[in-house]
Structure 1
Amino acid sequence: MTTSEIPGSALTPEQWRLAEQLSRSLDPMQARWISGYFAGFDAALRHPQPQPASFAPAPARSLTILYGTETGNAAELARTLEAAAKAAGLTCALADMADYKVRQLGQEQDLLVIVSTYGEGDPPQPATGFFEFAEGRKAPKLEGARFAVLALGDSTYEYFCQAGKRIDKRFEELGAQRIAPRVDCDVDYEEPAAEWIEAIVAQLASEAEAAPGPAVATVSGAGVAPASAYDKRNPFPAQIVDNIAIVGRGSDKETRHIEFSLAGSGLHYEPGDAMGIAVSNDPQVVAALLDALGLPPDAAFEWKEQALTIGEALTHRFEITAATPRFLDYWALLSDAAALKQLQQEDRAGERSVFLRTHHIVDIVRRFPVGEVMPQGFVSALRPLQPRLYSLASSLSAAPEEAHLTVSPVRYALHGEARHGVASCLLADRAPPDTTLPVYIQSNPHFRLPGDDKPIVMIGAGTGVAPYRAFMQEREARGAEGKSWLFFGERRFRTDFLYQTEWQGWLKDGTLNRMDVAFSRDGEQKVYVQHRMKEQARDLFGWLEDGAHVYVCGDAANLAPDVHRALIDIVAQESRTSHEAAEDYVRSLQADHRYQRDVY
C-alpha cells in the first residue's frame, strides 16, 4: 500500500513502513503508552509555545542577572549563567534580589531572572522586598527593556513555580518584552536549566556579534569548569562520629544530635550554613513498591546509556515516595483510570494537589493497578532523588573538621501504614556511628552573624535551635562583645530542652545574656515563643532600637508567620504607632539584613 492509498495520511512511504514495523512489535500496554506520547506530541505541534519576538540588534545593551533564592540553587545557576555570559564575551552584572537597588529597575535593558518559589507560591524570603516593589504601584515602566525568566519550583505544590510566573507576568505588564519564553523547572532542574542558559547566552552573544562594536568570543558552553573541591555534584564521604538522642526518657518527640567528621575534605562553612546529604531510599519502601509493581529487584534496563536494575534505581536514583503531576499523568495513561483522568483537568488543580499530598506513589500503584510495567517507562515518570539540607549546629571554630546536625525524624501514618521521612529516618534508623554518607556544604548568605559588637535576638523552636548553637560557639570562640538573647520553644521542659546544659553554660559565662523559653505542653494553656516575645515587648523593642539583628529558624507554616505578626505587634505597641507603620519598620529591618529567617 502506498501513501496515496491511505486516506488522510501524510506519511511518506518510509515513515509508514516504520510505523507498521513499530505497531507489530507493541503489546497492548505499549500501544496505549505510545498513543499517549503521540497525543501529547500532536498537541505540542498544534499549540506551540509562543516564540520570542525578534529584535533589531542594539549596541551595548546592559545585561543584569537577577536571582532570588532560598536554598542556594537559584544563586548557583545565576553564577553559572554569569560565567557562561562572560565566556561568550558579554558584559553582565550579577545581583541577589535581596541586595538589588530596586530604584535601578527602570534603567535596566536586558534582565535575566532566576527565581525559586517558597512554599505555596511565595517568593524566597530574601526576595520579598524586590517582589513587593516590582508588583507595587511604585514599579517603573519597562518599555524598551527585555527579560527572560527561569523559574524553579516543586511540582508537588499546587502553585508550581509561582514566583517565576508572577515576575514573568509583572515584567510583561510593565511593558518589557521577552527575550525567550519562561521555563519552569521541577526539583530536577539541572538539564532544563542548562539548556535555558545555553540558549539565552547563544542568542545574546549572536546579537552582540551582529551589533556595532568589537566582536565577542564564541560561546563555549553554558557550564563552568568543574570545581576540584567537594560539592553537591561531588559530595564528600563523611563518617558519622556520634549519633545520640538528646531528648529525655518519656518524651513524645524524637530528636537526635549527629556528628560528622570532615577530616581531609577541605570543606569550610560558616554559622548559618547548611549541610546537604545525598540520601538513599529505605529498602523496605523499595521492596513494597516493587511488590506493588510486580517487578523483581534485578529486572534490568538501560537508563541514559547506563545499565541498571530496578532495585538499584529505586534505592539510589529516584524519588519513590511523594507523587508528582508527572507521575500522575504517566499512571493515568497506563491505568486508564477515570478518577486520575479527572484530576488531570485544568480546573481540578486544588483536588489534584490534595490527592498528591495524601497519596504516595505506592498508594496510587495499589489503588489503580495495571498489568505489566516496564522499568524504563516507570522511572521516566519519577524525579531524581534529591539531597536533603540540614542547618548546621556547630562552628568550625569550636569543632574543627566536624559538622553537627540536630535532626527530628519525620514519622506519620498514611492509609493505615507507617511512613517515614527519607533523610531524617535514614539518619535516625540506619546511620549508626562509623556509617559513611555523602555530604556537601550549602552556603546560606542570608543567615549570617553580624559584627561581634552587634546584639542578636535568636528565635526558634525544636530543631530550629540548631544554627543558634553554631552562633554561640562562634561568638564564644571569637570573644564577641555583642549581647545575645535566645527565645526557644519545645513541648516539655523536663524532656525536650535541647542542649540545655550548653545554654546554661553560655548564660553563666556571658556569651548568652538572656534566655526565654516556652514549653507548650507543661501548662493548661499552650505557650509558644511568640507569647514570650510579647511578655518581653519593651526590652525586645529596646534591643531593636539599639541595632539588634533578629533571627528566626524553624517551622514555616506556623512559627515563622506567628513570630512575624508578634514582631509587628510589639513594634506597634512600643513605638505607639499604627500597624502599617510597624509593618514598614519590620520591612526596613529585612531590607537592612537585620531580620533574617531560615524556615522550612
Structure 2
Amino acid sequence: MNSDQRSRFDALLAELSTDQQSWLGGWLTARTGGGPALAAPATAGAAVSVPLTILYGTESGNSEELAARTAKSAKSRGFKPTVKNMADLSPADLAKSERLVVIVSTWGDGEPPETATSFYKGLMSEDVDLSKVSFSVCALGDTSYEQFCKTGKDVDARLATLGGKRVAERRDCDVDYEDSYQEWVEAAFTALAPAAVAAVSEISPVVAPVGSTFGKKNPFPAELLDKVLLNGRGSAKETWHYELSLEGSGLTYEPGDALAVLPVNAPDVVEDILRAARLSGSESVTPKGGQAKPLAEALREDFEITTLSKAVLKKLAEVAPASESLAALLADEGKEELREYLWGRWIADAIRQFAPDGLSAEALTGVMRKLPPRLYSIASSPLEHPGEVHLTVASVRYDAHGAPRKGVASTYLADLVENGDSVPVFTQPNKNFRLPTEGDTPIIMVGPGTGIAPFRSFVEHRAASGASGKNWLIFGDQRYQFDFLYQLEWQDHLKNGSLHKLDVAFSRDQPEKVYVQDRIRQRAAELFAWLEEGAHFYVCGDASRMAHDVHEALIDVVTTAGGRKREEAEAYLEDLKKSKRYQRDVY
C-alpha cells in the first residue's frame, strides 16, 4: 500500500464506527482467503480485555470528549477501559488501577477544572500508595496563560511522587491539541499494552469520533438571523444579542451548553501586524493541515495574531536571536517584569520592539498558533427557539500602551457580521452545568453581566417544558437604566409565573457599590431556606473575582442563616458540589 492509498484508507477508517471497522476487517480477510467473513481483528483484540482506567478532569468538555475517544480506541486494541470523572472518585481509588491514563485540563491561570478541584486537592495532600500503578498524563491548556497546563503537570508529578510508574511522558497540549493528543495516546497505548494487546494495536489505528456531518472538524455556517444591542444609549458597555440559525445542521444542544464561534481577524489588525513584520501580505504560506495561500489571507483566517504570551516570545526569540532585551525579559526570574510586559500588548508590539527589521513570512507564522474557536454560553432554549441558537456577547474594546485593542471574536460578531451572513459554529456540551432532572426542583441563578446568558436558557426551558420548580434570578450590572439585559423578558416571566423571584444589583446607581454577592447576603435567610428545600445553585460569569466573591457570600449565608462554623459551611457547600447542586460556569 503506497502513501496515497494509506492516506485514503485512514480517511475511510475515520468515518467508521468500531463495529464497522470490525466488519471491514473480516470482509477483507474473507476476500483474500484468510478466514471467515466476520473474523474481525478488533474482536480478537477485545478478547484480551486488559483493564485500563481512563481518568479525566474537564471544564468545557474537551477532556471528557478525549476520554471517550480514548476508551473507544482502547477497546478496539484489546483493553477493557473504564472511564472515570475526577468528580466521582477519590485519590485512594487510583491504587486499584494497574494501568492508568489521565486527561486533565487547566482552567484560567493554573486552576484545576471546577469539578476536579476536590480530587486535585486530595491528590496533592493525601498519602496514597500508587507503587503498582503504571500511568501516563495528557495535559490540556492554553499557552496564552502563564501557568500553561499546570494542573496536568502537578498531577503527573504527584502520581510519580506517590510511587506510580510513568511509562509514557506527559504531553502538554495547547488549544489546537489534536496532533499532540494522537501522539500521546499512541505512546501511552504502546507502553501500557502487554504483548497480546500490542499486536492488536498494530492494526487498530486511533480514529477521530464519528458524529454529525457538522461539528468541531467541520463547523456549520450558521446564518445570522438578528443582532440587537442590549445596552441603552449612555451605557459604558456594548452587549449584543445574536440569533443564529441551526436549520439543516444536525447540531443539538441543551440548556447550559456552549456555542463555539470560529472568528476571523479584523482587516486593520492584519494590516498592523504586516506593517510590524515589514511584509506585503502577498507572500505565500501554507498553514498546518491546509493549502498554500497569501499571507494576508492566512493571517485573517488561520492564525492567532494578537494574543502575546510567553510561548510566543520564546518563539520570537528563536527568529530574532540578536535581541538581547528579549533574552533578558525571558530570563526574568521573578516573572513580574514579564507579566507586566505581556499585559495589554499584542504580537505586533513585540515584533516592532524585538525584531525592528521585520520577519520573513515563514518566521512570522512560526511564532503563532492556530486561531482557536471562542466558546459562549448559549442564551436560548431549543424548546422555545427550535432551529435557532442565541448568544449574549459583550464586545471587548479598550486602550493599552497608547493603542486601541479589541477582542477577536466579540468584535468579529459586532463589526464584521450582518444579518444574512454566515458564522462558522459548532455546539459544545457542558455536562457540568445542567438543570435538575426533576422539574419541581427549585433553582437559584446568579448571573451578572453576560453571565445572564445560560439563565435565559434555563428559564425559557423550564417554562416551555412545564416544570413547576421555583426559579430565582439574581442579576447585576452597572446601571439600571442602560444595562438591565433582557429586562422586558424577565418582567414577562415574572407576570406569567415562570420566574418566581428576581433580585438585581446595579453597582453604579448609588454612591456605594452594590454587587450580586451583596444581594445574596441580604437574602441570607430565604436563600438558605431554598437550599434546605433542595434548591440547585448556579453561578455564571467572571472567574477572577465575581465567582470567588459569590462563594464567600454563600459561606456567610450558611454560617449566619444556617448557624454553622466556617469549616462546616465549607463542607456544606462541598457536599452541594458533589451532589451537583452547586454548579458554576465561569470564565
TM over 0.5: yes
Q: For residues 96 and 213 of structure 2, what CA distance do their matches in structure 1 show?
A: 38
**Counterpart amino acid of residue 415 in structure 1:** H
Is the Cα contact below 8 Å between 2:264 and 2:300 reproduced in 1? yes
Residues 424 and 485 (structure 1), Cα distance of their counterparts in 2 relative to 1, 3 Å cut: same
**1:560-600 deviations in whole A, cap 9, x for unaligned?**
00001110111111221211111000011111110000011
Number of the residue aligned with 1:40: none
**1:207-242 deviations in whole A, cap 9, x for unaligned?**
4547xxxx7564422223543431111111100000
Number of the residue aligned with 1:153: 141
Q: For residues 359 and 133 of structure 2, what CA distance do their matches in structure 1 show?
A: 50
**1:106-135 deviations in whole A, cap 9, x for unaligned?**
312211111111112110111112112222
**1:297-319 deviations in whole A, cap 9, x for unaligned?**
11113445731211011000000
- Describe the SS at the equivalent of 2:153: helix
Q: For residues 233 and 420 of structure 1, what CA distance do their matches in structure 2 show?
A: 27
Number of the residue aligned with 2:166: 178
Q: Is 2:425 the partner of 1:435?
A: no
Q: For residues 206 and 197 of structure 2, what CA distance do their matches in structure 1 show?
A: 18
Residues 515 and 343 (structure 1), Cα distance of their counterparts in 2 relative to 1, 3 Å cut: same
Q: For residues 307 and 209 of structure 1, what CA distance do their matches in structure 2 show?
A: 41
- Describe the SS at the equivalent of 2:308: coil
- Describe the SS at the equivalent of 1:590: helix
- Describe the SS at the equivalent of 1:575: coil
Number of the residue aligned with 1:511: 498
For these two proteins, the number of residue pairs brought into alignment is 537
Number of the residue aligned with 1:259: 243
Q: Is 2:290 the partner of 1:311?
A: no
Number of the residue aligned with 1:483: 470
Is the Cα contact below 8 Å between 1:393 and 1:405 reproduced in 2? yes
Identity of aligned residues (%): 46
- Describe the SS at the equivalent of 1:399: coil
**Counterpart amino acid of residue 162 in structure 1:** K
Q: For residues 572 and 498 of structure 1, what CA distance do their matches in structure 2 show?
A: 32
Number of the residue aligned with 2:186: 198
Partner of residue 352 from structure 2, selected from 337, 349, 366: 366
- Describe the SS at the equivalent of 1:306: coil
Q: For residues 553 and 361 of structure 2, what CA distance do their matches in structure 1 show?
A: 52
Deviation for aligned residue 1:81 = 1.3
Q: In the TM superposition, what are the counterparts of 1:277-316 in structure 2 within 5 Å?
A: 277-304=261-288, 306-316=291-301
- Describe the SS at the equivalent of 1:538: helix
Residues 432 and 322 (structure 1), Cα distance of their counterparts in 2 relative to 1, 3 Å cut: same
Is the Cα contact below 8 Å between 2:262 and 2:423 reproduced in 1? yes
Is the Cα contact below 8 Å between 2:304 and 2:369 reproduced in 1? yes
Deviation for aligned residue 1:179 = 1.6
Residues 461 and 385 (structure 1), Cα distance of their counterparts in 2 relative to 1, 3 Å cut: same
- Describe the SS at the equivalent of 1:295: coil
Greater Cα offset, 543-552 or 360-369: 360-369
Q: In the TM superposition, what are the counterparts of 1:471-550 in structure 2 within 5 Å?
A: 471-550=458-537
Task: Please identify the structure whose Cα radius of gyration is greater.
Answer: 1
Greater Cα offset, 197-206 or 417-426: 197-206
Deviation for aligned residue 1:256 = 0.7
Partner of residue 231 from structure 1, selected from 186, 194, 215: 215
**Counterpart amino acid of residue 534 in structure 1:** R
**1:443-467 deviations in whole A, cap 9, x for unaligned?**
0000000020111000010000000
**Counterpart amino acid of residue 164 in structure 2:** A
Is the Cα contact below 8 Å between 1:74 and 1:116 reproduced in 2? yes
**1:388-421 deviations in whole A, cap 9, x for unaligned?**
1100000010000000000110001122111110
Deviation for aligned residue 1:339 = 1.5
Number of the residue aligned with 1:243: 227
Deviation for aligned residue 1:272 = 0.4
Q: How big is the alpha-carbon RMSD for the aligned residues of Structure 1 and Structure 2?
A: 1.7
Deviation for aligned residue 1:346 = 6.9
Number of the residue aligned with 2:30: none
Q: For residues 229 and 99 of structure 1, what CA distance do their matches in structure 2 show?
A: 32
Is the Cα contact below 8 Å between 2:212 and 2:250 reproduced in 1? no
Is the Cα contact below 8 Å between 1:89 and 1:218 reproduced in 2? no
Greater Cα offset, 166-175 or 551-560: 166-175
Is the Cα contact below 8 Å between 1:303 and 1:376 reproduced in 2? no
Q: Is 2:330 the partner of 1:352?
A: no
Number of the residue aligned with 2:380: 394
Residues 247 and 372 (structure 1), Cα distance of their counterparts in 2 relative to 1, 3 Å cut: closer
- Describe the SS at the equivalent of 1:143: coil
Deviation for aligned residue 1:370 = 3.8
Number of the residue aligned with 2:44: none
- Describe the SS at the equivalent of 2:583: strand
**Counterpart amino acid of residue 467 in structure 2:** A
Residues 350 and 60 (structure 1), Cα distance of their counterparts in 2 relative to 1, 3 Å cut: farther
Residues 109 and 185 (structure 1), Cα distance of their counterparts in 2 relative to 1, 3 Å cut: same
Deviation for aligned residue 1:332 = 2.1
| Structure 1 segments unaligned to the other structure (5+ residues) | 1-58
Q: For residues 253 and 61 of structure 1, what CA distance do their matches in structure 2 show?
A: 56
Residues 303 and 546 (structure 1), Cα distance of their counterparts in 2 relative to 1, 3 Å cut: closer
**1:61-105 deviations in whole A, cap 9, x for unaligned?**
531111111111111221221122112121111122123355522
- Describe the SS at the equivalent of 2:75: helix
Is the Cα contact below 8 Å between 1:201 and 1:222 reproduced in 2? no
Q: In the TM superposition, what are the counterparts of 1:14-93 in structure 2 within 5 Å?
A: 62-93=51-82
Is the Cα contact below 8 Å between 2:384 and 2:460 reproduced in 1? yes
Is the Cα contact below 8 Å between 1:157 and 1:353 reproduced in 2? no
Is the Cα contact below 8 Å between 1:84 and 1:224 reproduced in 2? no
Q: For residues 277 and 218 of structure 1, what CA distance do their matches in structure 2 show?
A: 37
Number of the residue aligned with 1:99: 88
Is the Cα contact below 8 Å between 1:246 and 1:255 reproduced in 2? yes
Q: In the TM superposition, what are the counterparts of 1:314-329 in structure 2 within 5 Å?
A: 314-329=299-314
- Describe the SS at the equivalent of 1:447: coil
- Describe the SS at the equivalent of 1:74: helix
Deviation for aligned residue 1:292 = 1.3
Number of the residue aligned with 1:46: none
Q: For residues 550 and 302 of structure 1, what CA distance do their matches in structure 2 show?
A: 48
Is the Cα contact below 8 Å between 2:451 and 2:540 reproduced in 1? yes
**1:508-542 deviations in whole A, cap 9, x for unaligned?**
11111111110000011000000000000001011
Is the Cα contact below 8 Å between 1:281 and 1:314 reproduced in 2? yes
Deviation for aligned residue 1:334 = 3.1
**1:312-361 deviations in whole A, cap 9, x for unaligned?**
11000000001233321232233321121012227253433332233210
